[in-house]
Amino acid sequence: MLIKIKGSWELKENQITSLKDYISRRGFIKNAGIMGAASAASLMSSNLALAEESLSTVSNLYDGHDIMDEKTDIKAVRGYNNYYEFGMNKDNPARYAQSLVTDPWRVKVNGACENPGDYNVEDLIDFNALEDRVYRMRCVEAWSMVIPWIGVSLSEVISKLKPTSNAKYVYFETLADPKQMPGLSRGIIKWPYREGLRMDEAMHPLTIMAVGLYGEKLANQNGAPMRLVVPWKYGFKGVKSIVKISFLEKEPNTSWMRLAPQEYGFYANVNPNAPHPRWSQATERRIGDFRRRDTLMFNGYGEQVASLYSGMDLKRNY
Ligand SMILES: Nc1nc2c(c(=O)[nH]1)N[C@H]1C(S)=C(S)[C@@H](COP(=O)(O)O)O[C@H]1N2
Ligand SMILES: [Mo]
């Protein structure tokens, strides 16, 4: 059941160099054999105001669930984003997030755990144990992508922090720095961006803390240096550029719930049978496709996660 796909896509040499370079700079690979060439050139080309129609998909792959899904074009993954701290249009994050400083990066950990404190990313993520995870991502706005992430199971991060038995939820915050994030001047959301998971959801093997995608470190617009990915939930649960992790006894009040509780719930499980008050969730537009496709319950991960919600009314607990 645990998805662990190695080498499931072709890495270009400069991408390999870029990631290895990053990992080494983060202090985990002492063997300098593969490194050398700094690969700023392979960092993303930004400013991609992409016409959706021009987006194409590349290469088939096995996604670990007996379904052949095509990975979404890397230009779309990096050019069509939701990251409201950098603006509300889909091309704003790629344009405005380039100057975000992600190294060094400190993460505050507090609440019901034995190891609270201020951590560096490399204290939390074992860069020698990164895994490839190809996941569908379904935005609540009814579009979707397939993204080859690189990261570790969130459970591995959480184990290091040793939550106590009082910890029933884990809560995350994104950086909120008006000097670096032009979107903060707009008060759509009460910043910082806040998200959370029930502890059993957080410990589920499908839930990852991502640090890269398509063989490279995360682009800033995708949530560098580390962001949450919960593939059976709507994309907004995947909080980006995390600076705070708290272990809580009570369900946290997250950003989208706070903004419109009748539209966005805490669970946010992908559910074709629970329409958003203003649109249907029955179908979705896979970026790069012409035709809409049916949205799958739990985004197609029901076999793995449905048991987390047995006995719950998922229309009420949306
Ligand atoms: N901090 C922060 N995290 C965020 C968002 C945001 O606006 N701010 N948008 C969310 C939404 S709605 C989606 S669909 C995904 C998009 O991730 P991607 O741009 O890397 O594809 O990020 C989520 N995480
Ligand atoms: Mo989203």
Contact 23, 121 (CB under 8 A): no
- Is 82's C-beta closer than 6 angstroms to any atom of ligand 1? yes
Summarised one tens digit per residue, pLDDT across range 151-209 is: 999 999 999 999 999 999 999 999 999 999 999 998 889 999 999 999 999 999 999 99
Residue nearest atom 11 of ligand 1, based on CA coordinates: 236
Cβ contact 234:252 at 8 Å: no
Residue position matching structure tokens 């992600």: 102
Cα separation of 302 and 159, whole Å? 25
Burial class (CB in 10 A: 0-12, 13-18, 19+), 4: exposed
- Rounded Cα gap, residues 150 and 133, in angstroms: 6
Query: Under DSSP, is residue 10 helix (H, G, I), strand (E, B) or coil?
Result: coil
Q: Which of 238, 228, 213, 106 is nearest to 157 (CA)?
A: 228
Which residue's CA lies nearest to atom 14 of ligand 1?
A: 235
From 139, 173, 186, 236, mutation site for ligand 1 pocket: most ligand atoms within 8 A of C-beta: 236
pLDDT tens across 65-91, in order? 434 689 999 999 999 999 999 999 999
Residue 81 Cβ inside 6 Å of ligand 1? The answer reads yes
**172: β partners:** 195, 245
pLDDT at 187: 83
What pLDDT is recorded for position 24?
Answer: 58
pLDDT at 86: 98
Ligand 1 and 222: CB distance under 6 A: yes
Look up tokens 């690969």; give the residue: 39
| 105 backbone dihedrals φ, ψ, rounded to 5° | -145, 125
- pLDDT at residue 186, as a whole number: 87
Amino acid at 205: P
What is the full DSSP assignment across 112-157? SBS--EEEEHHHHS-TTS-EEEEEEEE-TTSEEEEEEEEEEEHHHH
The two three-digit tokens of residue 69, written as one number: 């899904």
Nearest to 77 by CA among 19, 134, 3, 148: 148
Minimal-distance CA residue to ligand 1 atom 23: 236
Q: Give pLDDT tens digits for 87-109.
A: 999 999 999 999 999 999 999 99
Report how far ligand 2's centroid is from the alpha carbon of 293 (Å).
17
- Output the average pLDDT for the chain: 84
> Ligand 2 mean position to 159 CA, how many Å?
28
Residue 242 has pLDDT above 80, yes or no: yes
244, amino acid identity: K
At CA 138, angle to CA 137 and CA 139, rounded to 5?
115
pTM flag (> 0.85): no
Whole-number Å distance, alpha carbon 138 to ligand 2 midpoint, is 7
Which CATH fold would you assign to the domain 13-309?
Sulfite Oxidase; Chain A, domain 2 (3.90.420)
For 243-277, write each residue's pLDDT tens digit. 999 999 999 999 999 999 999 999 999 999 999 99
pLDDT the model gives residue 143: 98
Q: What pLDDT digit, counting tens, does each position of 121-157 carry?
A: 999 999 999 999 999 999 999 999 999 999 999 999 9
pLDDT-derived band at 25 (thresholds 50, 70, 90) equals low
Alpha helices in 178-306 (DSSP H): 199-203, 255-259, 302-305
Alpha-carbon distance 7 to 164, whole Å? 37
Residue 277, judged by CB atoms within 10 A of its CB (0-12, 13-18, 19+), counts as: exposed
Least confident of 7-21, 119-133, 216-230: 7-21
Kindly list the protein residues that place their beta carbon closer than 5 angstroms to ligand 2, a single-atom ion.
Answer: 82, 139, 235-236
What spacing in Å lies between the alpha carbon of 23 and ligand 1's midpoint? 24
**Low-confidence winner among 32-46, 157-171, 299-313 (lowest mean pLDDT):** 32-46
Q: How confident is the model at residue 31 (pLDDT cuts 50, 70, 90)?
A: very low
Task: Using the structure block, give the residue that is written with the tokens 């995947």.
Answer: 238
What pLDDT, on the 0 to 100 scale, is given for residue 69?
Answer: 85
What pLDDT is stored for residue 26 in this prediction?
Answer: 56
Whether residue 287 has pLDDT greater than 90: yes
What is the structure's pLDDT at 12? 43
Q: Bigger pLDDT: 53 or 168? A: 168
C-alpha of residue 128 to centroid of ligand 2, in Å = 30
